[in-house]
A and B are shown apart, each in its own frame.
Chain A
Amino acid sequence: GENVEQHPSTLSVQEGDSAVIKCTYSDSASNYFPWYKQELGKRPQLIIDIRSNVGEKKDQRIAVTLNKTAKHFSLHITETQPEDSAVYFCAASSGDSNYQLIWGAGTKLIIKP
């Protein structure tokens, strides 16, 4: 079946350093790849997304890269700040029904002061 693998499950970085989270998807028909941030006790919120016709997208300190051939995509956060501490989820659109998302298991990002 369709699945998305996300690594690492926990990532601890020094404030000001960069953080990278990686996801691999199984369905070659997936064409939409969002990243969500979930703070403790809150709802997940979209922080950046990318479509399969684009290889990279940036928004200030956040960037996402997509390698369709290898079926993986990554989230890059530069100059990390304490408010970046949260759980991050990647997802890929389902090839069976495009409006559904297949979710990664999440990465807990800890920013050390």
Chain B
Amino acid sequence: DGGITQSPKYLFRKEGQNVTLSCEQNLNHDAMYWYRQDPGQGLRLIYYSQIVNDFQKGDIAEGYSVSREKKESFPLTVTSAQKNPTAFYLCASSMSGSGGYEQYFGPGTRLTVT
């Protein structure tokens, strides 16, 4: 069963704690992405990666960190430096190279920080 998975579905943390969100794909995609979505809002790019051991900051990278040690995995850490971490986090993957490609999304993780 090919696809992209995220865990957990819901996550609750206290303010001041770091938390890591998991994202795994078995689509053999080179590119992976993390987006943040606030209620009633659009998709904002946090980080993206085109290849293992390389990643780039998106539009709202402050307070977040990522790693890409394996092609299949792209975990996101929400650090205590992120001022408003409560949001819906979506991971996506796609082929890369010229031409533009569909992004496949995971089911998302809803993070609540109190």
Contact = CB atoms under 8 A, between A and B. Distances in A.
A31 B100 contact: yes
Given A49-B102, A98-B98, A99-B31, A43 B108 contact: yes
B102 A43 contact: no
A19 B102 CA distance: 23
Interface in B10-47: 30-31, 33, 41-43, 45
Interface stretch (A65-73, A77-85, A102-110): A102-110
B43 A89 contact: yes
A51 B42 contact: no
Contact of B42 (A30, A45, A46, A105): A105
Contact of A44 (B90, B94, B95): B90
Interface residues of A, number: 22
A101 B58 CA distance: 11
Contacts of B31: 99
Given A43-B108, A44-B105, A98 B42 contact: no
Interface of B: 30-31, 33, 41-43, 45, 48, 50, 90, 94-103, 105-108
28 contacts: A30-B100, A31-B99, A31-B100, A32-B99, A32-B100, A34-B102, A34-B103, A43-B90, A43-B105, A43-B107, A43-B108, A44-B43, A44-B90, A46-B103, A49-B102, A89-B42, A93-B99, A93-B100, A98-B96, A98-B100, A99-B50, A99-B94, A99-B95, A99-B97, A100-B48, A101-B100, A101-B103, A104-B42
